[in-house]
Chain A
């Protein structure tokens, strides 16, 4: 069992190391992830009690020991299946989609799967942090995969920097925990917390806030969500895998894993709730006004991540995980079919130049349609189950709300958001697939490798809801509180939203919404520009004047001195002999006299 855990983590790492050196890279990479998936399935069948697989003592300082170890419990198991399963399908899709591109793509993708597995399997916060940084690195490498395009590179850099700001929160939380509690192991922490909070109220509050701040960075919440829409510069399968299905849910996983900390300070959960609800709303409004197909889906992801955090804030961690799973299916399928559409339209991403693709790309259109229904929350599809569960959990939550923030108001905001979701998905579907084709060339369906993974994900998006609702709370009850939720019922509201979207089609150009309420501009004015001005000041004063001045003075004076001294090298034997005898006489003189 322990060996299998190590093997499942090692396979993608091996694939990542080997694949740059061979022409078979796509197949090796895909095979390693599927191998990992098969091992995960085997582990899933045999998993009962949590299994700890420890490799060695990683850090030992005084009393504190940090193990390099993996813990497989049911929460990790679910995430592991998601990562390897969806990851495997997206690898499969990439074989065809990334044909002719440099093979380092597959190396990065495998490295990502490895990092993600370390993230979800790590027994303690530092292990999680390795994976956390690893996925951040892979995200950066893959966003700026086409590094000759300067815009893509700066998008990658932006993602990396914004993620690092979030990481600071995670690091601070670890520092406070190690100082006040003395351990970072999840299980030990949980045992300590179950017997009452082991640390002071203020410190606990800081830890929870810092952890959540870390989660906002990785999971694209306010105020750090700005990197995710730009991350669409990467290849489309990357957007599907990293920036929709798996990496961005790491924040949710962190909250679910550290649920005992958050439960101890419900005040923080109210903050989480406010941030998450606002993110969901802002994301949805931004998605409605986008012109780029991938950007629509990116803002939609931001919005759906907000929904997940709402569930986590309502202490319904399993519901958050439920939405992670359903969202992974339909959003990955949406991204992959968007990839097929873009592929078919010869790289065109603007929805204004698509249209009428229903007849030309029938399979893709069906999957996109089904997933649009799912994300909009139309009843028998998966999205309806998870969203209904979120609303249910929020209604029954007992957080210390204060005057302005009441459950009703948050519910209203979220209902509007859910309705907007239906509207923008309807608009997107009608712009891309209905009407007449407005672009150039003749779009066509991709090969079987492009269609098959999308179809599988689409089927999951179609049917997984009810099954997961039955299965998850019972399966996760040991790790997460199995809060009761009711079954959803048929509602006409999302259909109305979709219909409005389909007939709306064109939206007015509102820059405020298209630029997601101007967060980028705020950052630009208050952080980026002052920073650049500051850097320029340093460049001209400290660097050019002070540093370069000192260096120039040193080299200049050396030059002048050596100009004088080199004249001593006359090349004349007589002079040299003279030096020689003078030297010897002086030396002997000193010796004799001294």
Chain B
């Protein structure tokens, strides 16, 4: 497998994740964008792991997956309370905290 393709794919996924977080107004989709970024990192970790023939990179991926699961749990909880407060999951609704 070419490492080149893996890094390009990973870079593309990461950029897609960043753009999702920055541009989408829907908070659930922002969460998806964050997951995308995490998985892009996972992909490159796996790719480099197989390149160097070492397992530690792949072990690390499991940790990241655990963290990602916890993060999406917390993120969903925040989204639920946001929805309760503003009756919407649009991030533009939550713009009270200013000045």
B25 contacts which chain A residues (CB < 8 A)?
Answer: 574
- Provided the pairs A572-B92, A573-B91, A573-B94 are in contact, do residues A578 and B22 lie with their beta carbons within 8 angstroms? yes
Residue of B nearest to A574 (CB): B91
| Chain A residues within 8 Å of B92, by CB | 572-574
Tell me which residues across on chain B come within 8 A of A566, comparing CB atoms.
99
In the bound complex, CA of A578 to CA of B18 (Å): 10
Task: Give every chain B residue within 8 A of A569 (Cβ-Cβ).
Answer: 98-99
Contacting B18 at CB < 8 Å: which of A570, A572, A574, A581? A581
- Chain B contributes a number of interface residues (CB within 8 A of A) equal to 12
A571:B99 contact, CB within 8 angstroms: yes
CB distance from B5 to the nearest CB of A (A): 23
- A592 / chain B contacts, CB cutoff of 8 Å: none
Which of A572, A577, A578, A581 meets B95, CB within 8 Å?
A572
Residue B96 at the chain A interface, CB threshold 8 Å: yes
In contact, A577 and B99 (Cβ under 8 angstroms): no
Chain A residues positioned under 8 Å from B94 (CB to CB): 573
Q: Which residues of B contact A578 (CB under 8 A)?
A: 22
Task: Please report A residues at the B interface, Cβ cutoff 8 Å.
Answer: 566, 569-574, 577-578, 581
B22 in contact with A571 (CB, 8 Å): no
Q: When chains A and B are docked, how far (Å) is the Cα of A578 from the Cα of B91?
A: 14
A574 touches B22 (CB 8 A): yes
Bound: A566/B91 CA distance, A: 21
- The residue in A573, A578, A581 that gathers the most chain B C-beta atoms within 10 A of its C-beta is A573
Min CB distance A566 to B, Å, is 6
Cα distance A577–B22 in the bound complex, in angstroms: 7
Interface residues of B in 84-98 (CB under 8 A from A): 91-92, 94-98
> What residues on A are CB-neighbors of B98 within 8 Å?
569-572
Chain A residue at smallest Cβ distance from B23: A574
B40 interface contact, C-beta 8 A: no
The winner among B18, B22, B96, B98 for most chain A CB atoms within 10 A is: B98
Q: Check B97 against A571 for contact (C-beta < 8 Å).
A: yes
List chain B residues, Cβ under 8 A from A574.
Answer: 22, 25, 91-92
The answer for the CA separation of A574 and B98 in the assembled complex, in Å, is 13
Assess whether B21 is interfacial by the CB under 8 Å rule: yes
Question: Can you report 6 A-B residue pairs in the complex whose CB atoms are below 8 A from each other?
Answer: A571-B97, A572-B92, A573-B91, A573-B92, A573-B95, A581-B18
- Smallest distance from the beta carbon of B17 to chain A beta carbons, Å? 11
Most chain B CB neighbours (cut-off 10 Å) among A566, A569, A572, A581 = A572
- Name the A residues within 8 Å of B18 (CB-CB): 581
Besides A571-B96, A574-B91, 18 more A-B contacts (Cβ < 8 Å) are A566-B99, A569-B98, A569-B99, A570-B95, A570-B98, A571-B97, A571-B98, A572-B91, A572-B92, A572-B95, A572-B98, A573-B92, A573-B94, A573-B95, A574-B25, A577-B21, A581-B18, A581-B22
